[in-house]
Structure 1
């Protein structure tokens, strides 16, 4: 089995403890589904934003469960790809 598929499977597991989610964020960066998890804590989201890794931020911006305050913060990001991803994920959100 390919390690990336295993990591994606872990990232999508809703029962994954938050300590392991944090480790996956460090390992996977923006690749895979870890930054799109609906259960990311505000602290984890703030860490992702502080890291300012392009792919991790892009995945976070595509997170449909992102709290409005963080969505607004990413909407002001200087990278147009991040802003576009926020708009795509926002759907009907104000």
Structure 2
């Protein structure tokens, strides 16, 4: 699902953090997959990264690399549906497993 999201400039560019600017930055992307079930909305993003097979190390690295991206994806879905995303999954294609955030 393609999306465009207007994000306050201070969220992306640290030089705006202390300013009173109302400028926005347009973030565009394509969400791999999301679905709604009885338990709410789930967001799934597929990755082909080569990462550690240790689950704790892998989860920490995924959060570091893709946490902000998943936040933007969730905001886009919530904006389009008016419903919260209650589960975020990164599915590692090479390892054949997913990590929930």
TM-score by length of 1: 0.23
Higher RCO structure, 1 or 2 (CA under 8 Å, sep 6+): 2
Q: Which protein is richer in helix relative to its size?
A: 1
